[in-house]
Amino acid sequence: MKSFDEDAFKAVHAQGGQIVSIRVNPSKTGQRTTNNEQLERVPWSSNGYYLPERPSFTSDPVFHAGAYYVQEASSMFLEEALKQSIDLSQPIKVLDLCAAPGGKSTLIQSLISKDSLLVSNEVIKTRVRILSENITKWGAANVIVTNNDPKDFQRLENYFDVIVVDAPCSGSGIFRKDPGAISEWSENNVQLCAQRQQRILADVMPALKEGGVLIYSTCSYSRQEDEEIADWLVEQFAVGSLQLAIGESWGIIETVSAKYNSFGYRFYPDKVKGEGFFIAAFKKGQVAESIHEIKKHPSAPLRISAPLRISAPLRISAPPSTKKNTEKVTAKEVAIIGSFLSNAGDFVFIKQQDDILAIPANIADDLTLLQSALYIKKAGIKIGSIIRDELIPAHELAGSNFISPSVTRFDVEKETALQYLRREEIKIDTEYKGWALLTYQQLTLGWIKLLENRINNYYPAAWRILNK
Ligand code: SAM
Ligand 1: residues with CB < 6 A are 75, 98-104, 122-124, 127, 150, 166, 168, 196, 200
In the residue annotation, 219 being an active-site residue is answered as yes
Checking if the pLDDT of 104 tops 50, the result is yes
Percent of the chain with pLDDT strictly greater than 70: 89
Question: Closest ligand 1 atom to the C-alpha of 167?
Answer: 10
Q: Which of 269, 265, 262 is nearest to 288 (CA)?
A: 262
Domain 309-404: assigned CATH number: 3.10.450
Are 400 and 337 within 8 A, CB to CB?
Answer: no
Mutation test residue for ligand 1: of 76, 98, 170, the one with most atoms within 8 Å of CB: 98
Question: Closest ligand 1 atom to the C-alpha of 199?
Answer: 23
- In the chain, where does the domain assigned CATH 3.10.450.720 lie? 408-468
Rounded to the nearest angstrom, the distance between the alpha carbon of 204 and the centre of ligand 1 is 14
Rounded to the nearest angstrom, the distance between the alpha carbon of 122 and the centre of ligand 1 is 7
pLDDT-derived band at 184 (thresholds 50, 70, 90) equals: confident
CA-to-CA dists, residue 265 to 190, 254, 281, 434, angstroms: 19, 5, 9, 54
Using CA positions, which residue lies closest to atom 20 of ligand 1? 168
Q: What is the mean pLDDT of residues 83-96?
A: 98
Checking if the pLDDT of 67 tops 60, the result is yes
Domain 81-283: assigned CATH number: 3.40.50.150
> Regarding predicted confidence, which is higher, 180 or 440?
440
Terminal Cα-to-Cα distance of the chain (whole angstroms): 48
| pLDDT at residue 10, rounded to an integer | 82
Q: Rounded to whole angstroms, how far apart are CA atoms 331 and 218?
A: 49
- In the chain, where does the domain assigned CATH 3.40.50.150 lie? 81-283
**pTM summary value:** 0.91
| pLDDT at residue 174, rounded to an integer | 85
Question: Closest ligand 1 atom to the C-alpha of 100?
Answer: 14
Q: Between β-strands 289-290 and 239-243, what pairing exists: parallel, antiparallel or unpaired?
A: parallel
Domain 408-468: assigned CATH number: 3.10.450.720
Checking if the pLDDT of 426 tops 80, the result is yes
Checking if the pLDDT of 248 tops 90, the result is yes
Using CA positions, which residue lies closest to atom 5 of ligand 1? 103
Mutation test residue for ligand 1: of 69, 123, 154, 196, the one with most atoms within 8 Å of CB: 123
**What does DSSP assign to residue 364?**
H
> Regarding predicted confidence, which is higher, 15 or 287?
15
pLDDT in tens, 324-341: 445 789 999 999 999 999
Q: Rounded to whole angstroms, how far apart are CA atoms 331 and 177?
A: 54
pLDDT-derived band at 1 (thresholds 50, 70, 90) equals: low
CA-to-CA dists, residue 178 to 1, 172, 184, 299, 435, angstroms: 27, 9, 11, 42, 44
Return phi, psi of residue 314, to 5°: -65, 140
pLDDT in tens, 261-319: 999 999 999 999 999 999 999 999 865 444 444 344 433 333 322 333 333 333 323 33
| DSSP assignments along 207-220, one per residue | GEEEEEEEEEEES-
Q: Which of 273, 256, 198 is nearest to 265 (CA)?
A: 256
Rounded to the nearest angstrom, the distance between the alpha carbon of 100 and the centre of ligand 1 is 6
Q: What is the mean pLDDT of residues 22-43?
A: 83
| pLDDT at residue 288, rounded to an integer | 47
Checking if the pLDDT of 115 tops 50, the result is yes
